[in-house]
């Protein structure tokens, strides 16, 4: 779990940074629950929530691969792709309520990494067994 721990720590910094942005904006616009109609607050809420919707499963996949003794090179490739993707997505959503290259590429990379990790886990299970 040494490699996965690095990416769990980095993901935690990202999630806390996004949560801090939500909290700061809540204080600025004096909204305690929901977005209060403030589009900037809504964007920040969604950036934070989207990270929390994707990171747990992706990190669990990474951990499963590490427990299956997958090469650290693969683990770092998946982990770094995941973190870069989530930062790109958050940055894109933070700065634009509409479509953005950051959101698009961030989503594409996140889903690609998750699908690749899932496929690798299943392939290894089929080839090596349980």
**Full pLDDT tens readout for the chain, 130 residues:** 699 999 999 999 999 999 999 989 887 888 777 767 788 888 999 999 999 999 999 999 999 999 999 999 999 999 999 999 999 999 998 887 778 899 999 999 999 999 999 999 999 888 876 5
Alpha-carbon torsion (10, 13, 17, 19), positive or negative = positive
For residue 79, give both structure tokens.
């982990």
Q: Cβ(50)–Cβ(22) under 8 Å?
A: no
Cβ proximity of 113 and 78 under 8 Å: yes
Tokens representing residue 47 in the block: 């950036």
Architecture in CATH for domain 2-128: Up-down Bundle (1.20)
Does the predicted TM-score (pTM) go above 0.85?
A: yes
Per the CB < 8 A criterion, the answer to whether 33 and 45 are in contact is no
- pLDDT per residue over 61-85, tens digit each? 999 999 999 999 999 999 999 999 9
């Amino acid at each position: 779990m040494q490699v996965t721990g690095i990416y769990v720590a980095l993901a935690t910094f990202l999630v806390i940074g996004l949560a801090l942005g939500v909290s700061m904006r809540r204080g600025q616009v004096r909204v305690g629950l929901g977005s209060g109609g403030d589009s900037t607050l809504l964007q920040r809420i969604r950036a934070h929530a989207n990270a929390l919707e994707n990171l747990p499963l992706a990190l669990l996949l990474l951990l499963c691969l590490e427990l299956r003794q997958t090469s650290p090179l693969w683990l770092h490739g998946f982990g770094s792709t995941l973190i870069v993707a989530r930062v790109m997505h958050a940055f894109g959503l933070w700065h634009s309520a509409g479509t953005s290259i950051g959101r698009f590429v961030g989503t594409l990379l996140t889903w690609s990494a998750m699908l690749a990790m899932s496929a690798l886990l299943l392939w290894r299970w089929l080839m090596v067994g349980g």
